[in-house]
Amino acid sequence: MRTAYTADQIRAAEHVLMAKLPPGTLMQRAAAGLAAVCADLLGSVYGKRVVLLVGSGDNGGDALYAGERLARRGAWVGAILAGSKTHQEGLAALREAGGRVVDRTALDRADLIVDGLVGIGATGALREPYQELVQEANAAAAPIVAVDVPSGVDASTGQVQGTAVRARVTVTMGAYKTGLLLDPGAACAGIVELVDIGLGSYLPDPDVAALTDSDVDVLLPRPGKESDKYRRGVLGVAAGSDLYTGAAVLAVGGALRAGAGMVRYAGPAAPVAQVRAHWPEAVITQLERPSIDDVGRVQAWVLGPGLGTDDWAHELAARVLESHVPVLIDADALTLVARERSLLFRSAPVLITPHAGELARLIRVDRDDIEAARLEYTRRAAAELGVTVLLKGSTTVIAEDSRPARVNGTGTSWLATGGTGDVLSGVAGSLLAQGLSCYDAAACAAYLHGLAGRMAADGAPLAAADVATAIPAAIRAVSGDNG
């Protein structure tokens, strides 16, 4: 699992470790790791032109000492000193190795740019001369390697106010920073390389975590020799309406592809006909009234995709939420519970899967505020509503009160198309029915859904049904089973 920490958590751990080591040890460890990544990116170091953007803090020192190492291997290394002060020992070491101080015109001929302008403690918009220098570096042809975090990215939140470095690679020291896993910071960071400087045993519980293939593989339910369709999990799906028949088809498809032993679909006549045509495996109950009495036993429910928001839908939602099994609430059902939040007051677990607009209605804040601080508001919603929250977006954020938030970045921008959220609901609901907690089901579903989206798109547009079809391949990929 990839764990990440706030700037305050990192600095506290560094303070404890530095007290146990000779002065400058951590900076030399960081510089060695940074220089190694730069050398790998350059291929052949000798004769290459490296330009360092040097600020006033320790990141500037890291860049200078890394530049020294590259200069000793034959690189031409120039430092643009942008800060009000400079790490003098690092600058002296660079000069002794043959490096020099240069002006901004050196950016035009650089083979590699190293961003050491600001460190993890910086917040808010970059000031001059940093802002203009970052804009010039971004416009240059050379790739940029950021030290710890790209300048302009808030290390603790991923927020960007104004200009930020767009790095090809970010070399982060000691531990991942939360802002490197959350957009827009994650998009600025590029590939993130972690350099171990010895912080491990001094770090507290993580601020956020991101699952890896192996984590998902361990969590996913697997059928055993004694399994049958009932033991593998029975999911109820209350979705679709005369207007939105496709939402029911996609949610059921996502659930079946994700391994539910049985899917019981309940809805009105129009979506019933579509689900029956697409998924003969589903057990179907056509509802003449908004009741689930005749649906049969389930281990979890998916409620809401395409359901509508009229009185009939409200009554059906109320009946589902009166049940004593976990319920995933999505789409139209989120609108219903935003109107009547008391529907969420239940003893069994609830997982909600909103986008930013739906979450804004639920917790009564502006959508723009949520988009600007996704982690903060996802956590707030989980605590305020007493539910597990999966906030959809370019970086999916999952929060449950008193637990580290989880983030997921396996997706692709091609997933921004109608119906993919319905598939996600089906996948997560299937995992709930198979026995995963809301917290684990949400994280695994987001991971598989994003991975399936990448596989289905392969760099080109996709339809939501393509994502559902690719879910089994995503499951095989995380388990390493390609047979």
Annotated binding site: 58-62, 115, 119-125, 130, 148, 151, 247, 306, 355, 392-396, 421-422
- Give the separation between CA 296 and CA 283, rounded to whole angstroms: 10
- Give the separation between CA 70 and CA 51, rounded to whole angstroms: 11
- Give the separation between CA 337 and CA 416, rounded to whole angstroms: 24
| C-alpha pair distances (Å), 349 with each of 228, 441, 454 | 25, 12, 30
- Give the separation between CA 300 and CA 307, rounded to whole angstroms: 17
Feature table: binding site for (6S)-NADPHX: 58-62, 119-125, 130, 148, 247, 306, 355, 422
Feature table: binding site for AMP: 392-396, 421
| C-alpha pair distances (Å), 127 with each of 122, 158, 445 | 11, 18, 41
- Give the separation between CA 174 and CA 180, rounded to whole angstroms: 13
Sheet holding 112-116, edge to edge: 100-101, 76-81, 49-54, 112-116, 144-147, 169-173, 191-195
Distance of alpha carbon 344 from the chain centroid? 26
Distance of alpha carbon 50 from the chain centroid? 32
Q: Which parts of 291-445 are beta strand (E)?
A: 300-303, 327-329, 350-352, 388-391, 396-399, 405-408
Closest CA relative to residue 443, chosen from 261, 212, 285: 212
Name the strand (E) or helix (H) holding 314.
helix 311-321
CA dihedral 282, 458, 473, 422 (to 10 degrees): -30
Residues 6+ apart with CB under 8 A from 401: 382, 383, 386
Residues 6+ apart with CB under 8 A from 258: 426, 427, 430, 431, 445, 448, 471, 475
Feature table: binding site for K(+): 59, 115, 151
- Give the separation between CA 173 and CA 180, rounded to whole angstroms: 12
Q: Which parts of 39-163 are beta strand (E)?
A: 49-54, 76-81, 100-101, 112-116, 144-147
- Give the separation between CA 27 and CA 441, rounded to whole angstroms: 41
The tokens 């679909």 sit on which residue? 265
